[in-house]
Structure 1
Amino acid sequence: MVKLDGISSFVAIAEAGSISAAARRLHLSKSVVSERLADLEQGLGAPLFHRTTRKLSLTEDGLAFLDRALRIVREVEEAAAEVGERRGQLTGPMRLSAPVTFGRMHLGPALYPFLGAHPGISMTLELDDRRVEVSAEGFDAVVRNGTIADSRLVAWVLAPSRRFLVASPDYLRRHGTPRSLAELSDHRAIHYANRGIADWRFLDTRPDEFVRPHAVLRVNNGDLMRGAALAGLGLALLPTFIVGEQIRSGELVIVDVGREVEQEFIYMAHPDGRRVSTKLRALADALKAAFGDPPYWDVGVPPAPGATIART
């Protein structure tokens, strides 16, 4: 007999890539998940994974079974959620991904009252600065900071994300303050490694106008970028949700090079074509309300430099 818990375990293993990772996701012991997989394979009469000492990979039968298994698990989760919604309750599992720094500084504090108000929700939040594949990795949604470009996702804007080129007063005393894009070539930069130099996008700028500054540090975390800028290592392009406090205190100074930085957004995105649960919509509304309009991290931060400077 094929059991639902075996199907759920199989899906978790396929998405997580290992039995250990699936067990952590399901909050079960590794032995229980292994036993459920073995029972499922016995019931189906076919192995679903190739097993080696290093990894698991789906067999041909496993690949064929995975698509239907995903639909079964999602249908059961959605059916259970619908029952709760009919009774006026938000219930069931939710799995989200979000950037590390934003999650620590802002998303977590906004989530706590929401989860407290809806104890029937069981949320898994994974903080990771890489770009996750929402559907393939089993997330209900992702919270991201950036431009909205992925056509496979439906995005709900939660808040604007203003970014500024900043540096410490000490760095500017030692190296001078750049006043144009061309002058950036004489400076040192702290880059977000997941985007690199392509992250430095300014409005109304020709490709030949931008001169790449020397990268003194590349790192894939906003907390470390802020720390490097505060230490006087170089210029950094960072959102106000990371450096708003330091701009207000004067620990970091906004550098005006005559161009406004391309606008980005904090948004929640979910796979296109999938039924959107009531609890996901409720979460998006709660986050928008918690962040505010304008968002609270922008309070006291001056207007974007370069916004009224004519192009030459």
Structure 2
Amino acid sequence: MLKLESAAAFVAVAESGSISEAARRMSLSKSVISERLSELERSLGTKLLDRTTRKLSITETGRSFYERAKRIMREVADASAEIGERRGDLTGQLRIAAPTSFGILHLGAALFDFLAKHPRIELTLDLDDRFVSLVADGYDAVLRHGPVVEDGPVIVRKLASSRRFLVASPDYLERFGWPRSIEDLKRHKGIIYSIRGAADWRFKIKRRLVTVRPETGLRVNNGILMRDAALAGLGLALLPAYFIQTELADKRLAVVDVGAEPEGATIYLACPEDRRGSAKLRALTAWLRDVFGDPPYWEA
């Protein structure tokens, strides 16, 4: 007899590509995942995975079973959630990803209050600055900051607008001078965000975007470290307002005006099309919009 927990383990392994990662996602041990996979293959009488010490791959039968098993697990989760919703209660698992720094500074506190209001939701939050895939990495939703760029059919829900500011420490500006134009930036060191597509600085001039590539003083993939590097006087940094509201208020960082406005961004929640009707995601979207505000509280 097919057990749902065994099918869920197989789906997690198929999506993550490894037993270790599937165990992490499901908060189980690797031995439990392996046991459930073996039990599933015995009940079906066929091999779903080819496992060696170096590699794990899905068989042709396994690929066919995965598509059906994925739909089954989704239907079970949706049916459970629907029953809860009819009782006026949001319930069930919710797995989302978000950028590390934004998650630490702003998202965490908002989610804590959301979970206190909806205690039957089982939330898994993965903080990661890399560009995770909704489908391949198995998320119900992904929170992003930047231009809306998604792979595949997804639903995008805007949470807030986000301004960026070019900033530097007073010490750096005293030593190297204030840049007053876009051209001046080429003679300054930049603290650069190293995630794909974010290394260039873009400014709006008469409805067009101008790209600037300053000399690199530091390249790093984390916004909090970029802010701290700017505080240490290592160069100019182009940062979202949510990183620097305190540092601007106490004048440890200064806004540098080069006669052009930095390109803004959007904070949004993206989810697969088949999660369009999720009451949990609708409730979470409305909650975050209300908490962040428009304009968001960090730009007050």
TM-score range, shorter chain: over 0.9
- The aligned residue for residue 129 of structure 1 is 129
* Greater Cα shift, 252-261 or 265-274: 265-274
Residues of 2 paired with 1:209 and 1:24: CA distance? 43
Residues of 1 paired with 2:138 and 2:91: CA distance? 18
* Greater Cα shift, 149-158 or 202-211: 202-211
- The aligned residue for residue 268 of structure 1 is 269
Cα deviations across residues 200-236 of structure 1 (Å, max 9, x unaligned)? 1211379996452111111110111111111111111
**Count of residue pairs the alignment pairs up:** 299
- The aligned residue for residue 181 of structure 1 is 182
Q: Specify the SS of the correspondent of 1:202.
A: strand
RMSD: 1.8
| 8 Å Cα contact 2:201/2:212 also seen in 1 | no
Q: CA deviation at 1:59?
A: 1.8
Q: Does 1:109 align with 2:109?
A: yes
Matches within 5 A, 1:77-96: 77-96=77-96
Matches within 5 A, 1:203-218: 203-204=204-205, 210-218=211-219
Matches within 5 A, 1:1-312: 1-150=1-150, 152-195=153-196, 198-204=199-205, 210-299=211-300
Residues of 1 paired with 2:47 and 2:206: CA distance? 57
Residues of 2 paired with 1:169 and 1:196: CA distance? 29
Q: Which amino acid aligns with 1:95?
A: R
Residues of 2 paired with 1:209 and 1:200: CA distance? 8
Q: CA deviation at 1:57?
A: 1.9
Cα deviations across residues 11-33 of structure 1 (Å, max 9, x unaligned)? 11112222122122212222221
Residues of 2 paired with 1:189 and 1:63: CA distance? 47
Cα deviations across residues 165-188 of structure 1 (Å, max 9, x unaligned)? 111111111111111111111100
- The aligned residue for residue 306 of structure 1 is none
Residues of 1 paired with 2:72 and 2:211: CA distance? 51
Unaligned runs of 5+ in 1: 300-312
Structure 1 209/22 Cα, relative in aligned 2: closer, same or farther at 3 Å?
Answer: closer
Q: Which amino acid aligns with 1:17?
A: G
Q: Which amino acid aligns with 1:100?
A: T
Q: Give the share of equivalent positions with the same residue, in percent.
A: 57
Cα deviations across residues 80-111 of structure 1 (Å, max 9, x unaligned)? 00000011100000000000000001000000
Residues of 2 paired with 1:34 and 1:198: CA distance? 42
The answer to which structure has the higher strand fraction is: 2
TM-score by length of 2: 0.94
| 8 Å Cα contact 2:193/2:199 also seen in 1 | no
Q: Which amino acid aligns with 1:248?
A: A
| 8 Å Cα contact 1:197/1:212 also seen in 2 | no
TM-score by length of 1: 0.91
Unaligned runs of 5+ in 2: none
Q: CA deviation at 1:52?
A: 2.2
